[in-house]
Chains A and B, each alone.
Chain A
Amino acid sequence: MAEILIRNGFVIDPTRNINGDVADIAIKDGQIVEGVGSKAKVIDASGKVVMAGGVDVHSHVAGPKVNVGRLMRPEDKLFKSPHNQKNYRMESGFSIPSTFKTGYDYARMGYAFVMEAAMPPLHSPHVHEEIHDTPIIDQAALPVFGNSWFVFEYLKNEEIDNCAAYIAWLLKVTKGFGIKVVNPGGSSAWAWGLNCLTLSDPVPYFDITPAEIITGLMKTNEYLGLPHSMHIHHNDLGNPGNYETTLESLRLAEGVATKNNFGRDTVMHSTHIQFHSYGGDSWGTFESKAREVMDYVNKQKNISIDLGCVTLDETTTMTADGPFEHHITNLNHLKWANTDVELETAAGVVPYVYDKDIKVNGIQWAIGLEMGLYATDPMRTFITTDHPNAGPFTRYPRIIKWLMSKQAREETLASFKHTDKVIDATDIHSMDRELSLFEIAQMTRAGPAKALGLSNMFGGLGVGMDANVGIFDLNFNDMPADPEAIEKAFSRACWFIKSGEIIVKEGDIVSHGNKRTIWVKPNVAENPQVIRDIQDKFLKDYSVGSDTYQVRDYLAPNPYVIEFDVEA
């Protein structure tokens, strides 16, 4: 593979505490190296910012519910699809772009790794088919466990070892990455049209509570020593006053110790926390509780979060939180898709318009940003939109602009119909903090890579790491007065190098690269009871056979497998 030398850029690399030093980055055979020969291709980055490839910890980009969204929303394509680039696949869609556009768009923003945030195990071949068709970016997928009958039965009896053996088996057969939990117990209850809105609501028929599921899965995660922590979407998403449930859920991390060999310090990743930080007791009294939640997150060091910022767009909500999507269709009366998945999970999809002239939407917008601005540890606070739920991932540059510029926030705030009411219900107007490029690099690169246990590969520019490098048109020493220039720079990398290959040149895609599917294979001792339980469930409860269920190797043709032995 060709050698590349990126010269004279302002390097921002929190993993090595480098903040804007002018330095060269050398690349050889897909990795960052000390130096390269004189024949290396030289890229002049002088006057520009050089960062590692972006790492997205949570994004719905591949799989059944994403595709239901695409299928049922032809209007998401209308006048919103760019004209295709010669020699590249056609692109389509805005909030739920086609797989091709997803890969190209992330690459244009300089992202190297994206985590598909919720994979129903039964549909894992579908998820891998879509990942296969998403060019350039490395991807992994988190299977959902928070409503699994297996998990319920093991955890009810406090059989962490059996739960671990089951999860190890499932990660292997679905080529999954870690443990995702969505509305624990609630999505299972939804199969009967019910929900679990508090942590002590028992799951119908299973005699277990959300709190027990969360605690049990955190322990299982650490028993296995997986690269990533348990990754949770809390109960009672999106409702006024839900911050108390959120805090109660976060507190379950107290006393759980991390155990892994991947450099991860956290035991819980709390995702799209904006949706879980609401005060008030109705939409009329709806208000921000960002401060209360972030005060806790800041001091509880074994939790990481991502923001789930509202971007004020017309978008498509989709989640394995089935009852929530039913709730939202009753709020906005738009079309509703639902897919309950036998023994495992549920899912729903509803279009949603975040309108800047609706008070509640304005408050939601403010809460997402407040959480980023209240964060004292950007290494545990990551920028997301819970794509596409709070907005499409292509708006990350806009969120960066808002976080880096009070002026940009004030301009947006002033454009609302109910500016005063939003100011009354939030702290955003009084917050002067403006994040630095270093902090942005922590929130979009070094931080998520560490939380995912992938800090040896992603998120930094140290020697030996994967050569994923973005070059952005920003002068570190002379940042633009106009915040729009920040958004513009991050929207379209000047150059993006992925695994040592030039992917974006002057903003245009020039290669399909060599994308990888990353999955985790923990080896546990053979567990006859779990094997028997699996056989039994396929015989009696599932509507497919156990052979059918296991993802064939050819569906992930370029795998990167993290295999390790679990010490019992």
Chain B
Amino acid sequence: MPKWITQVGCPYCGASCDDLEVLVSDDGKRVLETRNACAIGNEIFHHAQSPSRPKRPRMRQPDGSMKEVSYDEAIDYTAKTLLAAKKPLIYGFGSTNCEGMSAVARVAEKGGAVLDNCASICHGPSFLAIFDNGYPSCTLGEVKNRADVVVFWGCNPMHAHPRHTSRYSIFPRGTFTAKGQMTRTIISVDPRETDTAKLADHHLMVKQGHDYDLFDAFRTVIRGHDIPDEVAGIPKKTIVDAAKVMKNARFVMIFFGMGCTHTDGRNHNVDIAISLTRDLNAYTKASIMAMRGHYNIAGPGQVWSWQFGFPYCIDLSKGTHAHMNPGETSSIDLAMRGEVDCFVNVGTDAGAHFPIRAVEQLKKHPFITVDPNICMASEISDLHIPVRVVGVEEPGVVYRMDNVPIQFKKVVDGPEGVPSDEELFDRVYERMCELTETEPIWLLAKDHAKAATNAEQ
């Protein structure tokens, strides 16, 4: 009999839903059906079964073609390339588990690499604002149970986080929000009429690039001062009304996305958004949260903060201590300046996401992709190493957008012989130690407890 597995985590967006149900075949090898997943989440579970999925590493040949090689060869190549490089860059991690991130960190430390994640091109400006102004936030259950005013600023969860609004932010009936959507006033600030904006009670169609002005206007009104007749393309009355809604709320929740971090002002937009949250706390309760994109893109920010003290742009090339200075040690800037002499793309697609000139620079040197799937980065790589799909074939801890750890399950076995990110990078690390004739550093006797736990699940 096929078996329904419940409380399965979804390896798609930062909402990191953990209520999926997955029907697997008798032999535990195939996903037949999913419940509760959004269209994209559902597709990830089915795509993992695709016969066209690569199951062995592929190395680029002198004639430009790709040829299958063994994992040992791929690991040897990766280890040697990392050791030979002066400033390798290991980037990505939107789509892997924390165990993988931890294994990569050990490799990066050994190889004197720069360690960076997708926040570098995404919520990096939010980190800059957090460094300056803090982060008054809460877990998503608090939003569900308490928030009666929810602001979506420069984000569109109806498309980017399909179940966010039904699980946490607009529709759910929570403890103190028993009537669900009826309890909540929704404010959308977006230059476009997005599908989220269409759901909102107040849509403020801010003039593109003028978010800072509008935040400033809100702060001014909330502090009891006057503003011009129009700010950022919004009439004064609209702003005053929306400010009143926030000030009179019992619990204001502000979600912000790329519309703040990647428009004029960038980190300053987030900085003033945090200040607005602080101001509101003088009158009521208010919280703010970054709409993190991938299911575990909050993960590297956590793992590397406890290991190195920094969430991203971590330069370990000095060998003695970690150094972070976004602009200097951030992926795009390093690539544009031609400082990187080996690039490893893990669990993301730098080929699709980076500016073409950055990719051109990176392509002058060895370019390695570690990812379960074919993507633009894998197709321009010198080496593509496939791994198991986290959340489908590999369990592990991931951090939801509110930094709550979610323990993902595996529902089916991965393809024969294909390692997890963690196993792969542990083997790379061991190979680097062999090549340099050094002792590997394990904090604990390397254990196999995880394999046993996996078997139980």
Contact partner of B102 (CB less than 8 A), chosen from A93, A133, A342, is: A133
Report the minimal beta-carbon distance from A121 to chain B, rounded to whole angstroms. Answer: 11
Report the minimal beta-carbon distance from A330 to chain B, rounded to whole angstroms. Answer: 8
In the assembly, what is the distance between CA of A557 and CA of B145, in Å?
A: 35
Let me know if B135 and A72 touch, CB within 8 A: yes
Please tell me which stretch of A236-244, A357-365, A548-556 contacts chain B, meaning at least 4 of its Cβ atoms lie within 8 angstroms of it: A548-556
- Total interface residues on B, using CB and 8 Å? 74
In the assembly, what is the distance between CA of A65 and CA of B397, in Å?
A: 18
Residues of A close to B137: CB separation below 8 A:
337-340
Contact with B along A528-568 (1 / 0, CB 8 A): 00000000000011111111101111110110000000000
Report the minimal beta-carbon distance from A561 to chain B, rounded to whole angstroms. Answer: 14
Contact partner of A72 (CB less than 8 A), chosen from B98, B130, B308, B407, is: B130
Give residues of chain B (401-457) contacting chain A, Cβ–Cβ below 8 Å: 403-407, 409, 438-439, 441-445, 447, 449-450, 452-453
Report the minimal beta-carbon distance from A164 to chain B, rounded to whole angstroms. Answer: 24
Report the minimal beta-carbon distance from B197 to chain A, rounded to whole angstroms. Answer: 24
In the assembly, what is the distance between CA of A340 and CA of B142, in Å?
A: 7
Let me know if A548 and B18 touch, CB within 8 A: yes
In the assembly, what is the distance between CA of A433 and CA of B9, in Å?
A: 59
- CB contact under 8 A between A191 and B443, given known A338-B135, A543-B144: no
Please tell me which stretch of B258-266, B277-285, B377-385 contacts chain A, meaning at least 4 of its Cβ atoms lie within 8 angstroms of it: B277-285
Let me know if B321 and A541 touch, CB within 8 A: no
- CB contact under 8 A between A67 and B306, given known A342-B145, A543-B167: yes
Contact partner of B403 (CB less than 8 A), chosen from A62, A64, A73, A93, is: A64
Report the minimal beta-carbon distance from A106 to chain B, rounded to whole angstroms. Answer: 14
Q: Is A492 located at the chain interface by the 8 A CB criterion? A: no
Q: Is B302 located at the chain interface by the 8 A CB criterion? A: yes
Residues of B close to A349: CB separation below 8 A:
134
Let me know if B439 and A548 touch, CB within 8 A: no
In the assembly, what is the distance between CA of A542 and CA of B102, in Å?
A: 28
Q: Is B111 located at the chain interface by the 8 A CB criterion? A: no
Find the A residue at minimum CB distance from B168: A543
Find the A residue at minimum CB distance from B280: A193
Residues of A close to B174: CB separation below 8 A:
541
In the assembly, what is the distance between CA of A88 and CA of B438, in Å?
A: 12
Report the minimal beta-carbon distance from A557 to chain B, rounded to whole angstroms. Answer: 4
Contact partner of A81 (CB less than 8 A), chosen from B301, B319, B322, is: B322
Q: Is B12 located at the chain interface by the 8 A CB criterion? A: no
Q: Is B87 located at the chain interface by the 8 A CB criterion? A: no
Contact partner of A552 (CB less than 8 A), chosen from B322, B404, B453, is: B453
- CB contact under 8 A between A125 and B136, given known A81-B321, A548-B7, A552-B453: no
Let me know if B140 and A543 touch, CB within 8 A: yes
- CB contact under 8 A between A540 and B175, given known A90-B316, A100-B307, A335-B134: yes
- CB contact under 8 A between A87 and B441, given known A543-B167, A544-B18, A554-B450: yes
Let me know if A74 and B310 touch, CB within 8 A: yes
Q: Is A77 located at the chain interface by the 8 A CB criterion? A: yes
Q: Is B109 located at the chain interface by the 8 A CB criterion? A: yes
Let me know if A71 and B444 touch, CB within 8 A: no
Q: Is B70 located at the chain interface by the 8 A CB criterion? A: no
Let me know if A83 and B445 touch, CB within 8 A: no
Find the A residue at minimum CB distance from B9: A548
Residues of B close to A122: CB separation below 8 A:
139, 141, 404
Let me know if B142 and A342 touch, CB within 8 A: yes
Let me know if B308 and A92 touch, CB within 8 A: yes
Contact partner of B19 (CB less than 8 A), chosen from A67, A88, A96, A545, is: A545
Residues of B close to A126: CB separation below 8 A:
302, 397, 399, 403, 405
Let me know if A192 and B305 touch, CB within 8 A: no
Let me know if B287 and A338 touch, CB within 8 A: yes
Contact partner of A71 (CB less than 8 A), chosen from B6, B19, B130, B404, is: B130
In the assembly, what is the distance between CA of A88 and CA of B443, in Å?
A: 9
In the assembly, what is the distance between CA of A329 and CA of B404, in Å?
A: 24
In the assembly, what is the distance between CA of A43 and CA of B23, in Å?
A: 62
Q: Is A89 located at the chain interface by the 8 A CB criterion? A: yes
Find the B residue at minimum CB distance from A349: B134
A-B pairs under 8 A by CB, number: 222
Q: Is A387 located at the chain interface by the 8 A CB criterion? A: no
Find the A residue at minimum CB distance from B457: A552
Let me know if A191 and B146 touch, CB within 8 A: yes
Let me know if B139 and A341 touch, CB within 8 A: yes
Contact with B along A67-79 (1 / 0, CB 8 A): 1101111101100
Contact with B along A314-345 (1 / 0, CB 8 A): 00000000000010010000111111111100
Report which residue of B168, B302, B311 has the largest number of chain A beta carbons within 10 angstroms of its beta carbon: B302
Q: Is B324 located at the chain interface by the 8 A CB criterion? A: yes
Q: Is A144 located at the chain interface by the 8 A CB criterion? A: no
Contact partner of A542 (CB less than 8 A), chosen from B98, B141, B319, B438, is: B141
- CB contact under 8 A between A74 and B131, given known A340-B138, A342-B139, A541-B145: yes
Let me know if B449 and A554 touch, CB within 8 A: yes
Contact partner of B306 (CB less than 8 A), chosen from A81, A82, A84, A99, is: A99
Contact partner of A548 (CB less than 8 A), chosen from B134, B406, B447, is: B406
Let me know if A72 and B131 touch, CB within 8 A: yes
In the assembly, what is the distance between CA of A541 and CA of B139, in Å?
A: 12
Let me know if B309 and A93 touch, CB within 8 A: yes
In the assembly, what is the distance between CA of A544 and CA of B167, in Å?
A: 10
Contact with B along A251-265 (1 / 0, CB 8 A): 000000000000000
Residues of B close to A67: CB separation below 8 A:
302, 305-306
Find the B residue at minimum CB distance from A342: B141
Let me know if A90 and B109 touch, CB within 8 A: yes
Report the minimal beta-carbon distance from B184 to chain A, rounded to whole angstroms. Answer: 16
Q: Is A132 located at the chain interface by the 8 A CB criterion? A: yes
In the assembly, what is the distance between CA of A193 and CA of B249, in Å?
A: 12
Q: Is B132 located at the chain interface by the 8 A CB criterion? A: yes
Let me know if B141 and A514 touch, CB within 8 A: no
In the assembly, what is the distance between CA of A132 and CA of B99, in Å?
A: 11
In the assembly, what is the distance between CA of A550 and CA of B395, in Å?
A: 14
Residues of A close to B406: CB separation below 8 A:
544, 548
Q: Is A130 located at the chain interface by the 8 A CB criterion? A: yes
In the assembly, what is the distance between CA of A135 and CA of B306, in Å?
A: 13
Find the B residue at minimum CB distance from A99: B306
Report which residue of B109, B135, B406 has the largest number of chain A beta carbons within 10 angstroms of its beta carbon: B135
Report the minimal beta-carbon distance from A132 to chain B, rounded to whole angstroms. Answer: 7
Let me know if B449 and A339 touch, CB within 8 A: no
Q: Is B29 located at the chain interface by the 8 A CB criterion? A: no
Let me know if B307 and A544 touch, CB within 8 A: no
Find the A residue at minimum CB distance from B15: A543
Give residues of chain A (99-157) contacting chain B, Cβ–Cβ below 8 Å: 99-100, 103, 122-123, 125-126, 129-130, 132-133, 135
Report the minimal beta-carbon distance from A248 to chain B, rounded to whole angstroms. Answer: 28
Residues of B close to A540: CB separation below 8 A:
175
Let me know if B141 and A191 touch, CB within 8 A: no
Contact with A along B121-135 (1 / 0, CB 8 A): 000000100111111
Let me know if A84 and B321 touch, CB within 8 A: yes
Q: Is A271 located at the chain interface by the 8 A CB criterion? A: no
Let me know if A329 and B134 touch, CB within 8 A: yes
Q: Is A7 located at the chain interface by the 8 A CB criterion? A: no
Report the minimal beta-carbon distance from A133 to chain B, rounded to whole angstroms. Answer: 6
Let me know if B141 and A350 touch, CB within 8 A: no
Q: Is B320 located at the chain interface by the 8 A CB criterion? A: yes
Contact with B along A505-517 (1 / 0, CB 8 A): 0000000101100
Q: List 13 extra interface pairs beyond A130-B306, A191-B138, CB under 8 A.
A: A71-B302, A89-B443, A90-B316, A91-B321, A92-B309, A92-B321, A126-B405, A329-B278, A339-B139, A512-B443, A542-B141, A554-B450, A557-B444
In the complex, 11 of the A-B residue pairs with CB atoms within 8 angstroms, ordered by the A residue number, are A74-B309, A77-B310, A87-B441, A98-B307, A129-B303, A337-B134, A337-B137, A338-B287, A340-B142, A548-B18, A558-B444
| Interface residue ranges, B against A (CB under 8 Å) | 6-7, 9, 18-19, 98, 102, 109, 127, 130-142, 144-146, 167-168, 174-176, 250-251, 278, 281, 284-285, 287, 301-303, 305-311, 316, 319-322, 324, 395, 397, 399, 403-407, 409, 438-439, 441-445, 447, 449-450, 452-453
Report the 5 A-B pairs with minimum CB-CB distance, sorted nearest first. A342-B141, A335-B134, A543-B141, A193-B285, A340-B138
